[in-house]
């Protein structure tokens, strides 16, 4: 997995970037949709779309599909705040999130564990890493039900999920997604609300 963070470092402000991570099958797409559907919630974040060189199949996230040529053209034009490669595809987050953050927005992105270090080097303390964690047996069952991977691929994905979870930084927030989607969505929004409230309190205390 590789990526690029040639953009300048973003100065810390009142905005927060909630960087969602999790294994394929962990339920990130469902949580992102749930946050979009609750946009009337006081603490609902702005959910960024991803640009991916994979055609939509109706069973994954609602992303913007780009050809490899279109993706490379946007890289050359500095149109991405972040971009990386994984599993044979390229992924990008648009520069619009920098504007949202500069205006104090609370932004939620579907990130990559392999790109986390580069993302943190760009956004620093503005970035809040969040892992969506699923019990290994439940993860295997979800992957079998969606029918996109063979048994060996499912085992490899489960093993990779365990390995990468062990490599995450100690400040990474964890949300268990072993129950209903509604429960996990509520937990995610609660975490975002807590971070916003905590940051606002700290900011007020530091004000002259």
What is the model's pTM?
0.84
Strand 89-94: give its sheet, edge to edge. Answer: 2-4, 80-86, 89-94, 50-52, 64-65
For residues 173 and 146, which has the higher predicted lDDT (pLDDT)?
A: 173
Q: Among 3.60.20.10, 3.40.50.300, 3.40.50.2300, 2.60.40.420, what is the CATH number of 13-49+104-206?
A: 3.40.50.300
Q: Which residues pair with 109 in a beta bridge?
A: 19
Task: Pull the structure tokens for residue 186.
Answer: 């509520």
Q: pLDDT tens digit string along 94-146? A: 999 999 999 999 999 999 988 999 999 999 999 999 999 988 888 888 888 87
For the chain, domain boundaries:
13-49+104-206
Residue 12 has pLDDT above 60, yes or no: no
């Amino acid at each position: 997995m590789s990526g690029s963070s040639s953009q300048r470092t973003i100065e810390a402000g009142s905005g927060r970037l909630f960087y969602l991570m999790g294994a394929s099958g962990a339920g990130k797409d469902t949580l992102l949709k749930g946050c979009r559907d609750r946009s009337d919630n006081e603490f609902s974040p702005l959910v960024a779309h991803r640009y991916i060189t994979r055609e939509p199949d109706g069973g994954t996230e609602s992303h913007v599909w780009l050809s490899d040529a279109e993706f490379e053209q946007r890289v050359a034009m500095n149109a991405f705040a972040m971009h990386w490669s994984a599993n044979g595809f390229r992924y990008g987050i648009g520069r619009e999130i920098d504007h949202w953050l500069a205006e104090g927005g609370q932004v939620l992105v579907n990130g990559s564990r392999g790109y986390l270090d580069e993302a943190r080097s760009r956004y620093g303390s503005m970035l809040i890493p969040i892992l969506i964690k699923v019990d290994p047996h439940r993860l295997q069952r979800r992957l079998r039900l969606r029918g996109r991977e063979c048994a060996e691929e499912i085992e490899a994905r489960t093993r990779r999920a365990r390995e990468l979870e062990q490599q995450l930084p100690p400040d990474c927030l964890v949300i268990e997604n072993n129950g209903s989607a509604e429960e996990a969505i509520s937990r995610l929004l609660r975490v975002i609300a807590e971070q916003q409230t905590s940051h606002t309190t700290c900011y007020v205390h530091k004000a002259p």
